[in-house]
Amino acid sequence: MKRLVLMRHAKSSWDDPLVEDHDRPLNGRGRVSARVLGDWLRARKYVPDQLLSSSALRTRETFSRLGFVCDAQFKKALYLADPQVMMDALRGAKGETVLMLGHNPGIAWFAQSIVQVPPPHPRFFDYPTCATLVAEFDVTDWREIGTGSGRALDFVIPRELTG
């Protein structure tokens, strides 16, 4: 059994219009959301042993604020990646519980493609910042996963946790 925690990066700052998109940091709300999501994942025992993430500053900062220690891989190929690139990266994973951090629209499309049945959540299809899907796969190796092969266990957005 393998588990995927699929998370969009937390809310980023647009304060400096001269900063390149790849280099935008989190804003205050994003920093709080990432910390709260880390607490939520720990409380539910969805603790990753591997990270596959975009190399963008906002995904790096999101991971840092989640508070996990695991094998972390930050890949330029996952920056604004489409679902096929994400699937290819996941098929190369080695962890039992893999956290994948990325960006919209690719992360939303990937979430929709990976599960058999979407979770009954009104925000699943637009996947707001720091939205998190937890899906389980009845496989022993990540190379065995395919479209529609995951079972959605949980889906949450930060506002449900922060009020």
At 129-156, the pLDDT tens digits run: 999 999 999 999 999 999 999 999 999 9
| pLDDT tens digits along 92-107 | 999 999 999 999 999 9
Domain 2-129+142-162 CATH class label: alpha beta
Q: Is residue 63 within 8 Å of 53, Cβ to Cβ? A: yes
CA angle 134, 102, 69 (to 5 degrees): 70
pTM for this predicted structure:
0.96
Q: Would you call 153 helix, strand, or coil by DSSP?
A: strand
Distances 160 to 6, 131, 133 between C-alpha atoms, Å: 17, 10, 14
β pairing state of 50-54 and 71-75: parallel
Checking if the pLDDT of 163 tops 80, the result is no
**pLDDT average, residue stretch 24-53:** 97
Checking if the pLDDT of 4 tops 80, the result is yes
Q: What is the pLDDT of residue 17?
A: 86
**Is cis: bond before 17, omega within 30 of 0?**
no
- Residue listed under structure tokens 């990270």: 51
| pLDDT tens digits along 65-99 | 999 999 999 999 999 999 999 999 999 999 999 99
Q: What is the pLDDT of residue 162?
A: 86
Looking at the DSSP bridge assignments, the partners of residue 53 are 74, 101
Structure tokens at 40: 């939520």
Q: Is residue 75 within 8 Å of 118, Cβ to Cβ? A: no
Residue 33 CA to residue 54 CA, distance in Å, equals 18
Residue 34 CA to residue 61 CA, distance in Å, equals 9
Task: Output helix, strand, coil percentages for the chain, rounded to the nearest 5.
Answer: 35, 25, 40
Percentage of residues in the chain with pLDDT exceeding 70?
Answer: 99
